[in-house]
Structure 1
Amino acid sequence: MTPGGGSGPMKDCEYSQISTHSSSSPMESPHKKKKTAPKRKWEVFPGRNKFFCNGRIMMARQTGVFYLTLVLILVTSGLFFAFDCPYLSEKITPAIPAIGGILFFFVMGTLLRTSFSDPGVLPRATPDEAADLERQIDIANGSSSGGYRPPPRTKEVIINGQTVKLKYCFTCKIFRPPRASHCSLCDNCVERFDHHCPWVGNCVGKRNYRFFYMFILSLSFLTVFIFAFVITHVILRSQQTGFLNALKDSPASVLEAVVCFFSVWSIVGLSGFHTYLISSNQTTNEDIKGSWSNKRGKENYNPYSYGNIFTNCCAALCGPLSPSLIDRRGFIQPDTPQLAGPSNGITMYGATQSQSNMAAATPLLQSEPSITSEELPLPGKTSLSGPCATLTLGQPTPPSSMPNLTSDTGLTDMIPLKEEHEGHQFLTPEEAPSPPGMLPSGSPITHSHTMHVLSLASQDSLHEDSVRGLVKLSSV
């Protein structure tokens, strides 16, 4: 008999079909949160850095000296190409402006690459990781038994036969890897930290050291190149019109010569110092601290050196570039909101966040078949063939506790025995009745001896059939 029939016991139990595919389904949470645009990790980055171009450019917060570097390079090179190169290309060779242009673009490229990249920032520990590390420190130092003395924050590792101490960073809550250090200006731990260079507006570390070295080396060549040919220009003009007239004809050359003269010494000296560091595979931080100085002992040596100048240079300049560890342009994963339960007291199976939660709430999604609310015998409903499930031994439970049913005991444990209740017989699995207490007393449905086990073809059909059965029960 159809639900909308003219007469019969189901006339009083009419129900309307619920669409489980619409957006207004009652299975959805009434407290659904609004979707917000996900944030990127650079927007909540804990260090003192500035980001541009949606996190693609990463710099230190103090960038004033970096802009001064840009101005000095652009102004000096611009004056050289505008006032000196035309005369030099005509009197000497057109190759002079070509070589100068190549050096200029190489200097600018390496400068921007050094300034705008991640120097090798190490990610900070999460609260769970920091708490676990604190427990490990307490256990390793015996502080868990009680005491006022804080445990030492160092670890020792052996690298190529040399003992290296790993220091604990109280800001990042990590033990810094070998050769890493915490930059106080950027407030980050940087891998293979060399130094913080205000002239490039960034730290110099593992990921941008080779570009920094190529920048200062090429800048040294450009500075010497400009200074040499500016002097050549002034000398050639002095031979024609005199020295004072040459200075009046090309006043820009005087400014270029002054800037190059005072900067060439520091730039060339810095290039030579870093050439020495690369050849010995050291960092500026290690050299200043004297980490591998012979003054500390005869057995104190640099464990990172390959013992060959050529190999050390190749390792620093030609080795593979390590990837960034902070994923600054990645999205922050929001916490999954917990769905609120229905307020009418009826458990709606299948209305959970994911398929795994649905399997826990709906017994038909378990690996072993079990009984759900849809399996209750209803008048006029055609039974489908399927495996018979078993119930646990215990007190009758309402439908909300159905996920706790297991198959540890037999079905006969829940069925009254023949000796205890006369008139009843042992039933086959196909004739097993519903467990007592599942339906209100006095309902005609409770006296049925037919068990219907629903074998679903898809998750949607399970969803829809479960709702239908529950609506029927509530209407009864």
Structure 2
Amino acid sequence: MAKRVYQAWKGSNKFIFGGRFIFGPDVWSLFITISLVIIPVVIFCIFVARHLLHKFPTYNAGYAILVVAIVFTIYVLVLQMLTSARDPGIIPRASHPPEEEFSFDATSRTDSTGRQTPSLQFPRVKEVMVNGMPVKIKYCDTCMLYRPPRCSHCSICNNCVERFDHHCPWVGQCIGLRNYRYFFLFVSSSALLCIYVFAMCALYIKFLMDGDYPTVWKALRHSPASVVLMIYCFISLWFVGGLTGFHLYLISTNQTTYENFRYRTDRRRNVYDRGCLNNFMEVFCIKIKPSRNDFRAFVQEEILRTPPNAARAREPEDDSGSYTRSKVEDDLDIGGDLLKISQRRNIEEFDEEIGRRDNDRRPETFLESESVSAMDKQISNTGSEIPITRTDARNSSWGRRSSNWEISPEIFAKNSSVAGSGSLTTEK
């Protein structure tokens, strides 16, 4: 059965509901963030907002305090899910490196046998034009593609993300082109929720002081939940409020968190800055691009293509295979020629010669060319045929084109007795 894209996904993401929602590998931190939002609001509704329902009798306005807190909390949680559960702008991986950039360097590497092996070469950095200015883009070894401008590879999610801002552990997802808007709204809304809860708790303390608890200390002792919530919101506001201000600055200058921290000291011109108003419109008013990935689609097997120059790169390997074939062919040709000029003699005498040679175990070894020339010389001088034995070296055949020809000294000694009717005997 064919797999779907999310089932064969090579990144570190987590999918639920059949690939309809995508999260980062640290998705469990999302539950911590949700609890940090829900638990304080529940405490506020039970111990603070409930007592403010009848403090504004006109049009029952006190109920609005409770409703606003609940609706605002739901709005924050929805923004959090839109940030965490959607594709942040992942660029699909390529199945092979860009072939149009291939080049082979035949002199770059030499193997153990002394042969040169071509290596694959292609540029690691390229330049593209953005708003009339050259921008360098890098090649990603993991995704096997040249990253578009403002794209970076997230080491946590193991994906290349367009307009990569950062990986946020609080939402368990990368922040990129397709969810940056929701991330900023989530952070800024959380800051407003903190301000709202803090203000309502302070208002409730004020009502207590106007009533039966005239001092601040007595009012705080009567409502310890208000004290805890005010301290919690004050601390949280430093975090989400500071983050909101920082991202307002980034949006106004059209930067990302990654670019701000990495290129802060370079003093290079920001080629993406189009003015404060246009920068805000780019983030909040332009339609979000559709995802490049269809996680529920079926995986289509791609036929592997061979680079056009790959045949050249494999030529040295083909030579190593032809070496064995040429060696065998040479041996067969030499053996055939010797058989044509030889005649089989007495088998018993041949066996005796072999036995004496094995007992001696000190035969003289010649190279192929020297042994053949010596054999021809003896034939021409004596007019007889010399018994010759041929043995193959069994231990190692590296670096030889043929086997060794061994001529026993006893055979040369019997040359005269063989001259009349002898034959040339060979052993393969």
TM-score normalised by the shorter chain: which range applies?
0.5 to 0.7
Q: Does 1:106 find its partner at 2:68?
A: no
CA distance in 1, matches of 2:226, 2:232: 10
Measured at CA, do residues 62 and 157 of structure 1 come closer, stay the same or move farther in structure 2, by a change above 3 Å?
same
Q: Secondary structure at the match of 1:302?
A: coil
Q: Deviations over 1:129-148 (max 9, x none)?
A: x2xx2x44443xxx534325
How far does residue 235 in structure 1 lie from its aligned partner after superposition?
2.9
CA distance in 1, matches of 2:152, 2:302: 33
2:199 matched to which residue of 1?
A: 228
1:254 matched to which residue of 2?
A: 227
The answer to whether the 8 A contact 1:77-1:104 is kept is: yes
Q: Deviations over 1:327-355 (max 9, x none)?
A: 1111224699xxxxxxxxxxxxxxxxxxx
1:331 matched to which residue of 2?
A: 298
Aligned pairs for 1:397-416 within 5 A: none
1:269 matched to which residue of 2?
A: 242
CA distance in 2, matches of 1:60, 1:178: 23
1:144 matched to which residue of 2?
A: 105
**1:86 corresponds to which letter in structure 2?**
R
2:24 matched to which residue of 1?
A: 60
How far does residue 151 in structure 1 lie from its aligned partner after superposition?
5.2
Q: Deviations over 1:28-73 (max 9, x none)?
A: xxxxxxxx3x321101100001111111111111123221110010
Equivalenced residue count is: 286
The answer to whether the 8 A contact 1:227-1:260 is kept is: yes
How far does residue 248 in structure 1 lie from its aligned partner after superposition?
4.4
Q: Does 1:319 find its partner at 2:286?
A: yes
Q: Secondary structure at the match of 1:185?
A: coil
Equivalent of 1:289 in 251, 259, 262: 262
How far does residue 244 in structure 1 lie from its aligned partner after superposition?
4.7
The answer to whether the 8 A contact 1:58-1:118 is kept is: yes
Q: Secondary structure at the match of 2:270?
A: coil
**2:270 corresponds to which letter in structure 1?**
N
Q: Secondary structure at the match of 1:319?
A: coil
Measured at CA, do residues 109 and 161 of structure 1 come closer, stay the same or move farther in structure 2, by a change above 3 Å?
same
Unaligned runs of 5+ in 1: 1-35, 337-476
**2:273 corresponds to which letter in structure 1?**
S
1:195 matched to which residue of 2?
A: 166
**2:8 corresponds to which letter in structure 1?**
V
1:116 matched to which residue of 2?
A: 85
The answer to whether the 8 A contact 1:138-1:144 is kept is: no
CA distance in 1, matches of 2:78, 2:172: 15
Q: Does 1:155 find its partner at 2:155?
A: no
**1:146 corresponds to which letter in structure 2?**
T
How far does residue 260 in structure 1 lie from its aligned partner after superposition?
0.8
2:136 matched to which residue of 1?
A: 165
Unaligned runs of 5+ in 2: 110-118, 304-428
CA distance in 2, matches of 1:303, 1:145: 40
1:86 matched to which residue of 2?
A: 50
CA distance in 2, matches of 1:100, 1:74: 11
The answer to whether the 8 A contact 1:162-1:301 is kept is: no
**1:156 corresponds to which letter in structure 2?**
E
Equivalent of 1:174 in 145, 155, 158: 145
CA distance in 1, matches of 2:249, 2:125: 30
2:252 matched to which residue of 1?
A: 279
Q: Secondary structure at the match of 2:22?
A: strand
Q: Deviations over 1:221-249 (max 9, x none)?
A: 11111111112212322343434553444
TM normalised by structure 2 equals: 0.63
Q: Secondary structure at the match of 2:53?
A: helix
Q: Does 1:216 find its partner at 2:184?
A: no
CA distance in 2, matches of 1:91, 1:275: 37
**1:161 corresponds to which letter in structure 2?**
G
How far does residue 195 in structure 1 lie from its aligned partner after superposition?
0.3
Q: Secondary structure at the match of 1:117?
A: coil
CA distance in 2, matches of 1:333, 1:173: 18
**2:229 corresponds to which letter in structure 1?**
E
2:382 matched to which residue of 1?
A: none
Aligned pairs for 1:17-56 within 5 A: 36=1, 38-56=2-20
The answer to whether the 8 A contact 1:281-1:304 is kept is: yes
Q: Deviations over 1:118-166 (max 9, x none)?
A: 1011100013xx2xx2x44443xxx534325965400011111222111
Equivalent of 2:269 in 291, 298, 301: 301
Measured at CA, do residues 90 and 146 of structure 1 come closer, stay the same or move farther in structure 2, by a change above 3 Å?
farther
CA distance in 1, matches of 2:49, 2:30: 27
CA distance in 2, matches of 1:270, 1:174: 33
The answer to whether the 8 A contact 1:238-1:244 is kept is: no
How far does residue 81 in structure 1 lie from its aligned partner after superposition?
1.7
Larger radius of gyration: 2
1:204 matched to which residue of 2?
A: 175
Q: Secondary structure at the match of 2:293?
A: coil
CA distance in 2, matches of 1:329, 1:151: 34
Identity of aligned residues (%): 38
The answer to whether the 8 A contact 2:14-2:27 is kept is: no
Q: Secondary structure at the match of 2:271?
A: coil
How far does residue 98 in structure 1 lie from its aligned partner after superposition?
3.2
